[in-house]
Structure 1
């Protein structure tokens, strides 16, 4: 059975780590495609989303989005939006819901999401 909206992206988080869940079925499907093409990097992304979803020191490969993409809404909560570059064009975007200690994956895929190309 394939993962879908609201499902965890992996086993339940251990103490001190946040959950990583899919915001919708499209994100779950994109995750599977990304994992097939860049498995090790996808695993690393999952690890950092659980352990340190909002790093103090951003990098070009993992950073908070800016402008109109800086925030998103999930289940009525406004959350910071982050992006991880997994491969040359592969990206994961997630909303950080601090009240639920959960990263909601809103996009995962092998193609670059064009919305982030805006200045």
Structure 2
């Protein structure tokens, strides 16, 4: 879907920073819901993805997912999958596409993702 009237114009990543893009429409919709609930924290998550998407020291709020969730595929490329805890329940999951310098948001939402249950 191309941008249209009223759509946000996200700036391109400056030299040395990562592009942040949505892997699908559901991730984009979830991002908007998360931004409405926790605007400042969502913005901080975006900044982290732009500047330090795979920190040398992981924290409980920003870490690589484990087990079957540790990797995901986007456009045929297998990538590491990371999580940022934006609120107590709100999460952002993204694939780290190192070859293209892009973080692909695969999930964003105000509730804990069901994929980690069970």
Distance 1:74 1:9, change over 3 A: farther
How big is the alpha-carbon RMSD for the aligned residues of Structure 1 and Structure 2?
Answer: 2.0
Residues 9 and 92 (structure 1), Cα distance of their counterparts in 2 relative to 1, 3 Å cut:
farther
The runs of 5 or more residues in structure 2 that have no matched partner are: none
Q: 1:65-115 deviations in whole A, cap 9, x for unaligned? A: 000000000000000000000001000000000000000000000010021
Superposition misfits of 4+ residues, deviation over 2 angstroms: none
- When Rg is computed on C-alpha atoms for both structures, the one with the higher figure is 2
Return the TM-score normalized by structure 1: 0.90
Pick closer, same or farther for the CA change 1:26–1:2 going to 2, 3 Å.
farther
Number of equivalent positions = 114
Alpha-carbon separation, structure 1, partners of 2:59 and 2:18: 21
What CA distance in whole angstroms lies between the structure 1 residues aligned with 2:9 and 2:83? 16
Please tell me whether the aligned partners of residues 81 and 96 of structure 1 are also in contact (alpha carbons under 8 angstroms): yes
The answer for unaligned runs of 5 or more in structure 1 is none
